């Protein structure tokens, strides 16, 4: 089940909210757990056992780590190896086999297995919970139903943000419910829905057309790169908005996952703004435990490269993701050594152009099936192989999608937010906002009914 579907919007969500608010507070977590498992079962029925098994493992080892202090490190290692082992098997086993087969003559048969939806997200939540219990940063949860509810909570279950136990530890026990908070949740959800259905999916339509074209002009490659970069932002940030909005409706406060990453003035700044829950997860549970930057320069370089190779692999079991991770890792090292100091003195407009160009190329790598396609798409931006600057076909698609691209560019910056925050405009916005949100909901629903939408891009991770 996905948020941008009739089943979720008009059946699952309303029924869940009605029952949730009808029952007494002591039963709300039970209702959320049941709803979350049903939500997951609807989309991935054969892997509900995997989630339940993982929850039981996490619960038991959490108790053991807390109770037996002397053996806690051993229990932590065993638990993480077990849980991450499940992720390795389901997500990376065929990637490993493929690479072994490329080296040895005796070929190993591939294992035909589907990737469980959202496994990268909920496994990371389990790992962070166990590590936080081990460190003493979180109290062990002795109620298995509450552990299960935390891990399977449907708003963030499938595509994040990666919610840490320490963030909602107190909220699991007691949450605040107000009309204002609920209405803010509805507002955030509708905005996220609009970003997904009305912007990301339309840009995805353009990308699909471009990929199916034999066009080779410079304008074609720039259209493909820009629309792809904007699509993934509005798709993923739209999901995060919807998840945060749903959390508010249910009384939770999830941390932000995006902060206008396309206005960043460096790659370092970009990763403070993009997929914040993932970058901070790797910082706190991989980079710092390895020693961070408080080690020799060689070890510091090692730590950064390990983190970014893992970040790339987290996104997918393919070499383009490894290259994508290394690409960012090397650029961050260069920025930390000397380029960062230069960028601070550079006019912001130039620093932002540099960052956008680097990020745009990164998403070409991210979406590339092989090195040939990646190099062709990057080379095309700069007119490699003497291709024409523009063609009738690329010009036609630019004219056809110019408005949505312009809206996307403006929407990826805080320009509208800053305008809306001025006193005079703010009063006007407050008056028309309910009508505007209703309009977005109606148009988005029309697109969904028409079938003009697609699953979230991050579902595959």
Q: Between 283 and 158, whose confidence is greater?
A: 283
For the cut 90, the answer to whether the pLDDT of residue 181 exceeds it is yes
Across 292-425, where does the E strand assignment appear? Answer: none
CA distance between the termini of the chain: 16
Enter the tokens of residue 409: 């560019």
CA distances from 44 to 47, 148, 372 (A): 6, 17, 35
- Residue 251: phi, psi to the nearest 5? 95, 0
Q: Are 256 and 160 in contact (CB under 8 A)?
A: no
Instruction: Tell me the mean pLDDT in the region 107-111.
Output: 82
Encode pLDDT of 253-275 as tens digits: 999 999 999 999 999 999 999 99
pLDDT of residue 212: 83
Considering 109, 275, 315, 426, which one is annotated as catalytic? 315
Which of 238-242, 281-285, 388-392, 429-433 has the weakest average pLDDT?
Answer: 429-433
For the cut 70, the answer to whether the pLDDT of residue 459 exceeds it is no
Q: Are 194 and 440 in contact (CB under 8 A)?
A: yes
On the question of a cis peptide bond just before residue 161, with omega within 30 degrees of 0, the verdict is: yes
Instruction: Tell me the mean pLDDT in the region 80-105.
Output: 90
State the DSSP H helix or E strand holding residue 442, giving kind and residue range, or none if neither: helix 423-450
Q: What does DSSP assign to residue 251?
A: T
For the cut 60, the answer to whether the pLDDT of residue 453 exceeds it is no
Euclidean distance between CA atoms 427 and 446, whole angstroms: 30
Enter the tokens of residue 436: 């505007």
- Say whether 315 is catalytic: yes
Encode pLDDT of 281-330 as tens digits: 999 999 999 998 889 999 999 999 999 999 999 998 899 999 999 999 99
Residue 157's pLDDT band (boundaries 50, 70, 90)?
Answer: confident
Euclidean distance between CA atoms 428 and 451, whole angstroms: 34
Instruction: Tell me the mean pLDDT in the region 90-103.
Output: 89
**Radius of gyration of the chain measured on its C-alpha atoms:** 23
Enter the tokens of residue 441: 């909901």
Euclidean distance between CA atoms 219 and 401, whole angstroms: 13
Euclidean distance between CA atoms 109 and 129, whole angstroms: 36
Euclidean distance between CA atoms 186 and 244, whole angstroms: 10
Encode pLDDT of 325-366 as tens digits: 999 999 999 999 999 999 999 999 999 999 999 999 999 999
Euclidean distance between CA atoms 330 and 285, whole angstroms: 20
- Residue 31: phi, psi to the nearest 5? -65, -40
Euclidean distance between CA atoms 75 and 62, whole angstroms: 9
Q: Are 116 and 90 in contact (CB under 8 A)?
A: yes
Enter the tokens of residue 121: 């997200």
Encode pLDDT of 194-233 as tens digits: 999 999 999 999 998 988 888 789 999 999 999 999 999 9
Euclidean distance between CA atoms 297 and 333, whole angstroms: 11
Encode pLDDT of 23-58 as tens digits: 998 999 999 999 999 998 887 788 889 999 999 999
Where does residue 383 fall: left (phi above 0), alpha (psi -120 to 50 degrees), or beta otherwise? left
Q: Are 410 and 416 in contact (CB under 8 A)?
A: yes
- Look at residue 253 and give its three-state secondary structure: coil
- CA torsion sign for 200, 206, 211, 217 is negative
Buried/exposed code over 21-58 (b: 16+ C-beta within 10 A; e: otherwise): eeeeeeebbebbbebbbebbeebbeebbebbeebbebb
Of the chain, the percentage scoring pLDDT greater than 70 comes to 98
pLDDT of residue 458: 54
DSSP per-residue codes, 403-435: HHHHHHHHHTSSHHHHHHTSHHHHHHHHHHHHH
Closest CA to 189 of 454, 446, 437, 417: 437
Closest CA to 187 of 239, 246, 266: 246
pLDDT of residue 457: 58
DSSP per-residue codes, 229-258: HHHHHHHHHHHHHHHHHHHHHTT--PPP--
pLDDT of residue 101: 87
Instruction: Tell me the mean pLDDT in the region 182-198.
Output: 95
Closest CA to 192 of 363, 39, 9, 418: 9
Average pLDDT across the chain, whole number: 90
> 114-117 contacts: CB < 8 A, separation 24 or more?
114/47, 115/90, 115/91, 115/460, 116/44, 116/47, 116/50, 116/51, 116/90, 117/40, 117/43, 117/44, 117/47, 117/158, 117/459
For the cut 80, the answer to whether the pLDDT of residue 452 exceeds it is no
Of the chain, the percentage scoring pLDDT greater than 90 comes to 69
Question: Can you give 70-118 as a three-state secondary structure string?
Answer: CCHHHHHHHHHHHHHHHHHHHHHHHHHHHHHHCCCCCCCCCCCCCCCCC
Residue 456's pLDDT band (boundaries 50, 70, 90)?
Answer: low
Encode pLDDT of 399-411 as tens digits: 999 999 999 999 9
Instruction: Tell me the mean pLDDT in the region 61-80.
Output: 94
């Amino acid at each position: 089940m996905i948020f941008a579907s009739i089943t979720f919007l008009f059946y699952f969500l309303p029924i869940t909210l009605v029952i949730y608010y009808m029952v007494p507070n002591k039963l709300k977590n039970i209702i959320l757990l049941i709803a979350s498992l049903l939500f997951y079962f609807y989309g991935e029925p054969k892997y509900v056992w995997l989630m339940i098994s993982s929850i039981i493992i996490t619960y038991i080892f959490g108790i053991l780590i807390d109770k037996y202090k002397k053996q806690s490190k051993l229990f932590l290692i065993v638990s993480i190896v077990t849980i991450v082992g499940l992720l390795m098997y389901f997500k990376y086993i065929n990637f490993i086999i493929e690479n072994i087969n490329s080296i040895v003559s005796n070929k190993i048969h591939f294992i035909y297995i589907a990737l469980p939806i959202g496994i990268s997200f909920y496994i990371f939540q389990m790992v962070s919970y166990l590590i936080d219990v081990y460190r003493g940063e979180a109290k062990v949860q002795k109620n298995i139903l509450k552990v299960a509810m935390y891990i399977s909570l449907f708003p963030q279950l499938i595509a994040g943000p990666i919610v840490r136990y320490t963030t909602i530890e107190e909220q699991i026990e007691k949450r605040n419910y107000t009309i204002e908070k609920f209405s803010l949740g509805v507002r955030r959800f509708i905005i996220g829905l609009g970003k997904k259905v009305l912007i990301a999916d339309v840009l995805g339509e353009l990308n699909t057309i471009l990929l199916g074209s034999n066009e080779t002009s410079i304008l074609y490659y720039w259209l493909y790169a820009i629309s792809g970069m904007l699509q993934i932002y509005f798709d993923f940030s739209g999901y995060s908005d919807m998840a945060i909005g749903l959390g508010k409706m249910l009384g939770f406060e999830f941390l932000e996952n995006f902060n206008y990453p396309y206005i960043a003035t460096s790659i370092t700044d970009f990763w403070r703004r993009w997929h914040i829950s993932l970058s901070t997860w790797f910082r706190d549970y991989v980079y710092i435990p390895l020693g961070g930057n408080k080690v020799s320069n060689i070890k510091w370089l090692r730590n950064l490269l390990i983190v970014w190779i893992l970040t790339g692999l987290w996104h997918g079991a393919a070499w383009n993701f490894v290259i994508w991770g290394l690409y960012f890792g090397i650029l961050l090292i260069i920025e930390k050594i000397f380029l960062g100091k230069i960028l601070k003195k550079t006019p912001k407009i130039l620093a932002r152009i540099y960052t956008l160009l680097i990020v745009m190329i990164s998403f070409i790598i991210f979406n590339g099936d092989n090195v040939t396609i990646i190099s062709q798409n990057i080379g095309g931006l700069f007119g490699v192989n003497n291709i024409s600057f523009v063609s009738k076909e690329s010009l036609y698609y630019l004219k056809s999608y110019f408005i949505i691209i312009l809206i996307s560019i403006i929407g990826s910056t805080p320009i509208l937010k800053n305008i809306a925050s001025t006193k005079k405009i703010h009063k006007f916005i407050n008056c028309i906002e309910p009508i505007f949100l209703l309009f977005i909901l109606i148009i988005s629903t029309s697109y969904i009914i028409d079938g003009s939408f697609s699953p979230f891009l991050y579902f595959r991770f």
